[in-house]
Structure 1
Amino acid sequence: MYNVFIVDDEAVVRDGLKRTINWQEHGFELVGDFANGREVLEAMEHTVPDVIISDISMPFMDGLELAAAVVRKYPYVKIIILTGFDEFEYAQQAIRLKVSDFILKPITAHEMRELLQKVKREMDEVTRQHEDLSRLYSQLKQSLPLLKERFLERLVVNGLKAPEIAERFQYFGLNPLAPLQLVMVVDIDDFGERQIRSDRGGDTEILRYAAFNVLEEIAGREGQLLFRTREERIVLLLAGEPEESALYEQAYRIAEEARYYIDKFLKFTVSIGVGQAVRNAEELPVSYANALSALDYRFLLGKNRVLSILDVEGRPAGGTQPRNDWDRQLASAVKTGSLQDVRQLIQKFVADLKVSMAPLDSSILHIQKVILSLVNATQELGLEDFRIQLTDVYKFKTLDEIGNWLEESAASVMTAIADNRNHYTLAQVRKAAEYIETHYSQEKISLQDICRHVLMSTSYFSLVFKQHTGETFVEYLTRVRMDKAKELLQHTALKLYEIAGKVGYGDPNYFSILFKKHAGMTPREYRERLAKEIQA
């Protein structure tokens, strides 16, 4: 069943479509009807439909403006434009916006049913292509050559020198990576409600390839490199954007699209870690390590998310080469696990040292590697005031004493990291709020503008902004604008349309509607009430 929005400023048209069409019979569920494009965009903050059927001529925001806004943020939503204007330029503009259909009014109920059947067939075909596991299994045999995948894996995991990178890229027929570059790592959370039989290991491989196939389509369209690692993760290399903000924006858009399609069509979820931007291919291991660290925050924030290292840790203090598996496991537990997890890990480490009967010098070296992992964790997050000395280990005489000290040190590191993370997130939310307070008068201010300003992904920003303010971005912006409007109504003699313009609304009628919804009365009534209170 596909969800549908109807958008038309004429209530009689909307009512007619609701009454005369049996939507469920055609495989659709009508989940909303709206009088203009702005109402649709506000509703899509909470519910994203599969199809939007919109009139072209409406107040506040017409159908083509709505289509442009939807295509930018929700490229997977089908848009059908209904219009009474039989003009070539409208059709041309609709084609440029990738509108699915451009239909001339008046349209009969019979024509609408035929249109819905056509749209459903198209969407069913897309679904079938993504869900046809037998077709995907045959494509699996024709996937990227293993040698190329292993080369790309070495490039991001271990790092290579510039001459070898250039030689290998030429050998595999790959275009050189232009600056800037970053690494994204995609990891399957689980397989959802699917029942995977233990005696049919091929099922999981087909599903993994299905996810790879979705990302391969997106990467091919964007002209970016994609490969799989031996840990059964999918890695995407982005390159060619000279500005950091543009590169991160592209990464977030690709990641959100991939996450949506896998959840929608394959019925399971992935989490995606986004590393920091680097200037050349030799530095890709830094970005790869960042992406893995970002993925570790899935434990705290939940599955089915896009997690950027800038979102969760801020800008890393400097590049470090990837740690070995044990060191990364400890650093991950310190940053995202519970204190109990960290203590168990350290206790196991101490117990293994005891069993090994290793010489004192060898044991000290292993312990100092543990200390170094804790130091790296603090430095990566910019906690320069936190000090752990490698030589502190010589103060103790037994492994048990060292184990207790390590547990106390790790607990202190975890407290400092949690405080730093909360401080950074709160600072970014305050920065966003200040941006809104400064730019509320701009009519076109958007969630994407705010996220570009604070360098956060839209999904993560929306989560933390609501947690810290208790309001969504749209709710917060509207409240700020309404508060400013009340001040102008009380302290100035500006006309209502002038006040509307000063608080970001080019259409005074739409401003009046929102003001009444917010204050319970129109702007004129609000001003008159204030005047009466002063006279009294």
Structure 2
Amino acid sequence: MENYKVILVDDEEEVIDAIKSRILWEQLGLQIVGSATNGVKALELVEKLQPDIVITDIKMPYMDGLELSRRLNDEYRNVHIIIFTGFDEFDYAKEAVHLEIDEYMLKPINAVELSECLKRVKNSLDKEREEKLNVQKLENYFDDVLPIIQTNFFVSLIEGRVNESEYEKFLQAYKIDLNGPYFCCAVFHTSENNVPEEMSPLLLSMSVEREIKARIVGKFKCREFIYLGNTVLIIELKSKEETVELTDVCDKFCKWVNRVIGAVVTAGIGMVCDNISNINNSYDGAREAVSYRVLYGTKRAINIDEITSNKQNMGLQSEETKMHELFKAIYLGNEQEIEAATNREVNRIHGNSNTVSQYKLYTMEMVGAFYRFCENNFIDFNDFLGEMSNPYEKVPKMDESTLKKWIVQVSTEMGKQLKSVRNSKSRRLINDAKNIVANRYMEEDLSLDKVCSIMGVSNSYFSSIFKKETGISFVSYLTDYRMDIAAKLILDTNEKSYKIGEMVGYMDANYFSYVFKKKFGISPSKYRNAKLKS
């Protein structure tokens, strides 16, 4: 079993070095993965390293230990906190009992006392881990799934097997409250290739389902059930825009469950519908979003509306279910999958055609499906036909080999154009974000959350495409932009440093000076003097 990860936070580096050297970390089952000299740096490390324990002093520059503890409790509830405090600060620290600090320790630190303290915290972590991974409890929980009759009804809904005229009757009979006004489907896929020891894939999936109930179902009005090995949510929304918040919540959950349980989970968010009878289309979209993990990565949430060219229904509709695999391969742009799906589709057509008339009918239906697929994805099928003027006439006359070659050719070209459309949308989003920064960098509250809210996209999606396209995170870009403006103002004006800090969005003069020095290696005043001398 891996050691628990620890981060040390103290503005005196000699204190950090002393703690590192005096404690037998390995024997305690612990591992120091990082250290920081203030709360701001500590938060950056926590996001990057995802520790189990944070040991922090109270008095530090920029952000003290109590403010750090508040932020950890808000954003990383699973992190255990140990606070060091001087005698004159002890009463002040005890007043913060609502912060749920695990342990308070008075300075100077005694190695024996700290070791005992760490043992107590480790025992708490062991109990939490045991609670989450206890096989027997998971087996008992598996026996206590949702009522079968409700689950069957939900499965029928997402498969599109409930008539619109009948679902109200079933909702009432099964005591299910689904009022909307909008609905959305989310699918959580747990990888079977990353399973902790002494756990089966099925039990791991059940563990993930339990955590979804505890951490997501309570935040939204929704129904949860297991289907085809995945956890599925049917969610009621007050507005279509609420899917942005939903995507961010699911994205944070995927990262948390990987770190705590070791499960690799991908969440797919389907399109919004205004009638529960159409929830099957949202479910198809959610499943399609999950399949995009091969492009966008696992341990995250993927919103189908954010990766298609426009916020409309996907090209894959219920009447095209027979061509689902081919359309999926086109979306992914995988030429090998396109060829394999084409072979299966052509074999299906030939296998079901007992007469020439049937063959012509099937191939004409296939052409119609291509037209609908392109229309719903805002591309023109005629662009891929070359000199073929009437595919409804020409395609049914193709032999098996020619038909396969033609399908592979047009499908491959469609995949390339869809990828180009997605990339174009990504570039537009990045340019929009850069324009927002250029126009509003001086606003103190300008942040990743605010920019995403303005553009109407989730943090998860925007952060991933921004990093992929630019090579840096959005937060780093915003900071660099502000610092470059500040450097120019320092050279072009006689304003004091604190005033320049306010002009680029930093109301705290000390923090502005800290960020500036981190960027340029010297303080604002020294930067001005150095440039003037040169």
Tell me whether the two structures share a fold, i.e. TM-score over 0.5: yes
Map of 1:237 onto structure 2: 234
Map of 2:406 onto structure 1: 405
SS at match of 1:190: coil
SS at match of 2:56: strand
Contact 1:270 1:304 in 2 (8 A): yes
Asked if 1:257 corresponds to 2:253, the answer is yes
Contact 1:3 1:50 in 2 (8 A): yes
Runs of 4 or more, structure 1, over 6 Å off, are none
Specify which of 278, 282, 286 is matched with residue 281 of structure 2: 286
Superposed displacement of residue 272, structure 1: 1.3
**Cα distance 1:38–1:259, how it changes in 2: closer, same or farther (>3 A)?**
closer
Map of 1:461 onto structure 2: 462
Percent of residue pairs identical: 25
SS at match of 2:27: helix
Counterpart-to-counterpart distance in 2, 1:40 and 1:442: 24
**Cα distance 1:323–1:10, how it changes in 2: closer, same or farther (>3 A)?**
farther
Superposed displacement of residue 184, structure 1: 0.9
Counterpart-to-counterpart distance in 1, 2:317 and 2:344: 26
Map of 1:309 onto structure 2: 304
Asked if 1:361 corresponds to 2:357, the answer is yes
Superposed displacement of residue 73, structure 1: 3.9
**1:215-226 paired onto structure 2 within 5 Å:** 215-222=212-219, 224-226=221-223
SS at match of 1:462: helix
* 1:193-215 deviation digits (Å, cap 9, x = unpaired): 6689xxxxx94433332332222
* 1:43-94 deviation digits (Å, cap 9, x = unpaired): 3443221222233443222334333444444343333444554558x66766
Contact 1:182 1:284 in 2 (8 A): yes
Map of 1:40 onto structure 2: 42
Contact 2:184 2:273 in 1 (8 A): yes
Specify which of 251, 268, 274 is matched with residue 273 of structure 1: 268
The two structures have a TM-score, normalised by structure 2, of: 0.87
Map of 1:392 onto structure 2: 391
Contact 2:271 2:304 in 1 (8 A): yes
Map of 1:513 onto structure 2: 514
Counterpart-to-counterpart distance in 2, 1:67 and 1:243: 34
Specify which of 30, 33, 42 is matched with residue 32 of structure 2: 30
The two structures have a TM-score, normalised by structure 1, of: 0.87
**Cα distance 1:431–1:141, how it changes in 2: closer, same or farther (>3 A)?**
same
Counterpart-to-counterpart distance in 1, 2:139 and 2:466: 42
**Cα distance 1:162–1:77, how it changes in 2: closer, same or farther (>3 A)?**
farther
Contact 2:254 2:266 in 1 (8 A): no
SS at match of 1:60: coil
* 1:240-293 deviation digits (Å, cap 9, x = unpaired): 4x34444422342134314531x2344341221111233342332232122112
Question: Which consecutive residues of structure 2, in runs of 5 or more, have no partner in the other structure?
Answer: none
* 1:273-332 deviation digits (Å, cap 9, x = unpaired): 111233342332232122112112122233333211133225432477445643221110
Report the more deviating stretch, 121-130 or 295-304: 295-304
Contact 2:254 2:301 in 1 (8 A): no
Counterpart-to-counterpart distance in 1, 2:341 and 2:130: 46
Map of 1:476 onto structure 2: 477
* 1:386-429 deviation digits (Å, cap 9, x = unpaired): 66799513124233443333222212211210110110111112
Q: Count the aligned residue pairs.
A: 523
Counterpart-to-counterpart distance in 2, 1:161 and 1:15: 69
Counterpart-to-counterpart distance in 1, 2:284 and 2:95: 46
Amino acid in the other structure paired with 1:115: C
Question: Which consecutive residues of structure 1, in runs of 5 or more, have no partner in the other structure?
Answer: 197-201
RMSD, matched Cα: 3.1
Asked if 1:335 corresponds to 2:335, the answer is no
Superposed displacement of residue 164, structure 1: 4.4
Counterpart-to-counterpart distance in 2, 1:12 and 1:287: 57
SS at match of 2:210: helix
